[in-house]
């Protein structure tokens, strides 16, 4: 059956909501899932009608290609509820563009816009009571797109599945975050998949990041794989450096194929340009940031990502050098966080059209 765009989704609602058993007072990121999920299959060169159905385990044969060759990409987005109970997404079109860019790089067919964007809207409407409304809380939406063909030849799959799930979310990082500049391992290389939200990019970070954690650093900042001289991203976040009052961040595609083009990152760059913040998007040298820290000119480092939002980094390590990064009275991290959250939660006008209402 091919997709009938007039009747885009087959919807099977849960018979007994799990909501009454959910503990919203103690939200751990990504552990609790709402009542429904979306599942859409690409089979025989065609997208099949997507189903919205109760969140549940799905079974796969051990030979499914995703398990062998990691043909898998994903996205991270959030739905917000304002004080009137209206529902919003933040720049979902950017996530749609990015998942298809990631899919193309991994040899996967493009996802139709109406399945992704309209599917997420349907899912959020159905599970709107799962959107927590405490400060900074939202419904984290996780689309994941995988290769499902049962065959172990190393070639692109002939069938795929898109699944979209939703999880009530508070903070991604529960405590303060200190960061270490990585000078041995690499996350990405030129011409590779660093710019894609490929599942394997995250797996490749776990071992070095766990080593950093043992030293008291919750994340690493990756550096370029050739010389380890340029600062790139932190894996779960893009990174911004404030030296005196100038903000610096590394370029993504097309200048660099190694760094994920984050939606929060792009929003900060736009807001900086429109609010008189001096910002440069260019390769940032490790040496430049470490020297600035040594001579007192490094005022802030902050991460930017959908899950993490905007996260001040409170300590930086590079080789034998360590510095605390005390909070600034005129924190840029706070400035951008407030600006972006005011738009996301419908507290101010949105001159950019970033906030998309779900009707
Ligand atoms: C996000 O910020 O949405 C991400 O996908 C990062 C992930 C590691 C939680």
Q: Whose CA is nearest to atom 5 of ligand 1?
A: 76
| pLDDT value of position 7 | 74
Whether 344 is covered by a domain: the verdict is: no
Say if residue 105 is in the same domain as residue 251: no
Q: In the beta sheet, which residues pair with residue 303?
A: 239, 311
Helix axis angle, 92-105 relative to 263-274, nearest 10°? 130
Whether 332 is covered by a domain: the verdict is: yes
CA distance 28 to 306: 16
Whether 345 is covered by a domain: the verdict is: no
Say if residue 305 is in the same domain as residue 162: no
Residue 28 has pLDDT above 80, yes or no: yes
0.85 exceeded by pTM = yes
What separation in Å is there between the alpha carbon of 294 and the centre of ligand 1?
32
Report the number of distinct structural domains present in the chain: 2
What separation in Å is there between the alpha carbon of 50 and the centre of ligand 1?
24
Say if residue 105 is in the same domain as residue 209: no
pLDDT band, residue 190 (cuts 50/70/90): very high
Given a contact cutoff of 8 angstroms between Cβ atoms, the answer to whether 250 and 259 are in contact is: yes
What separation in Å is there between the alpha carbon of 28 and the centre of ligand 1?
14
Which ligand 1 atom sits closest to the C-alpha of 29?
9
Which CATH number covers residue 192? 3.20.10.10
Say if residue 202 is in the same domain as residue 153: no
- CB-based burial of residue 114 (10 Å sphere; 0-12 exposed, 13-18 middle, 19+ buried)? middle
Whether 147 is covered by a domain: the verdict is: yes
Q: Whose CA is nearest to atom 8 of ligand 1?
A: 236
| Helices and strands (H, E) in the chain, number of each type | 8, 20
For residue range 192-249, what is the model confidence (pLDDT) as tens digits?
999 999 999 999 999 999 999 999 999 999 999 999 999 999 989 999 999 999 999 9
Whether 161 is covered by a domain: the verdict is: yes
Segment 59-78 mean pLDDT: 98
What separation in Å is there between the alpha carbon of 37 and the centre of ligand 1?
18
pLDDT band, residue 3 (cuts 50/70/90): very low
Which ligand 1 atom sits closest to the C-alpha of 172?
9
Query: Which of these three, 151, 169, 187, is where a domain ends?
Result: 169
| pLDDT value of position 174 | 87
For residue 266, give its domain range: 178-337
pLDDT band, residue 69 (cuts 50/70/90): very high
Give the chain's radius of gyration (CA, Å). Answer: 21
The CB of 262 under 6 Å from ligand 1? The reply is no
Say if residue 216 is in the same domain as residue 126: no
For residue range 312-333, what is the model confidence (pLDDT) as tens digits?
999 999 999 999 999 999 999 9
For residue range 73-116, what is the model confidence (pLDDT) as tens digits?
999 999 999 999 999 999 999 999 999 999 999 999 999 999 99
For residue range 145-180, what is the model confidence (pLDDT) as tens digits?
999 999 999 999 999 999 999 999 999 998 999 999
Whether 27 is covered by a domain: the verdict is: yes
Instruction: Among 307, 309, 310, 340, name the best residue to mutate to test ligand 1's pocket (greatest count of ligand atoms within 8 A of Cβ).
Output: 307
pLDDT band, residue 6 (cuts 50/70/90): low
Query: Which of these three, 139, 169, 199, is where a domain ends?
Result: 169
Q: What is the distance, to the nearest Å, from the Cα of residue 310 to the centroid of all Cα atoms in its chain?
A: 12
The CB of 307 under 6 Å from ligand 1? The reply is yes
| HEC per residue, 59-127 | CCCCCEHHHHHCCEEECCEEEEECCCCCEEEECHHHHHHHHHHHHHHCCCCCCCHHHHHHHHHHHHHHC
């Amino acid at each position: 059956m091919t997709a009938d765009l007039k009747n885009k989704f087959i919807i099977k609602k849960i018979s007994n909501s799990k909501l009454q058993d959910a503990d919203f007072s103690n939200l751990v990121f990504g552990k609790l899932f709402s009542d429904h999920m979306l599942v859409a299959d690409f089979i025989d060169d065609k997208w099949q009608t997507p189903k919205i159905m109760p969140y549940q385990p799905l079974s796969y044969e051990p030979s499914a290609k995703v398990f062998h060759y990691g043909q898998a990409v994903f996205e991270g987005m959030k739905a917000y509820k304002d004080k009137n109970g209206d529902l919003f997404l933040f720049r979902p079109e950017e996530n749609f563009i990015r998942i298809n860019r990631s899919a193309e790089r991994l040899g996967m067919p493009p996802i139709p816009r109406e399945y992704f964007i309209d599917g997420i809207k349907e899912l959020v409407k159905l599970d709107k009571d799962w959107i927590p409304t405490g400060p900074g809380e939202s419904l984290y939406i996780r689309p994941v797109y995988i290769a499902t063909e049962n065959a172990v030849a190393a070639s692109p799959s002939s069938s795929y599945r898109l699944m979209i799930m939703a999880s009530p979310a508070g903070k991604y990082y529960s405590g303060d975050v200190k960061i270490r500049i990585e000078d041995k391992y690499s996350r990405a290389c030129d011409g590779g998949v660093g710019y894609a939200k490929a599942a394997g990019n995250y797996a490749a970070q776990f071992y070095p990041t766990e080593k950093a954690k043992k030293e008291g650093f919750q994340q690493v900042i990756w550096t370029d794989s050739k010389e380890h001289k340029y600062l790139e991203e932190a894996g779960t976040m893009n990174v911004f450096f404030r030296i005196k009052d100038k903000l610096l961040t590394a370029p993504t595609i097309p200048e660099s194929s190694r760094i994920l083009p984050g939606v929060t990152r792009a929003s900060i760059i736009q807001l900086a340009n429109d609010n008189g913040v001096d910002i440069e998007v260019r390769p940032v040298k490790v040496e430049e940031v470490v020297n600035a820290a040594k001579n007192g000119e490094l005022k802030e480092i902050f991460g930017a990502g959908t899950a993490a939002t905007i996260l001040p980094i409170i300590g930086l390590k590079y080789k034998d050098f360590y510095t605390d990064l005390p909070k600034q009275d005129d924190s840029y991290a706070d400035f951008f966080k407030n600006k972006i959250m005011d738009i996301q939660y419908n507290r101010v006008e949105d001159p950019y059209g970033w906030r998309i209402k779900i009707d």
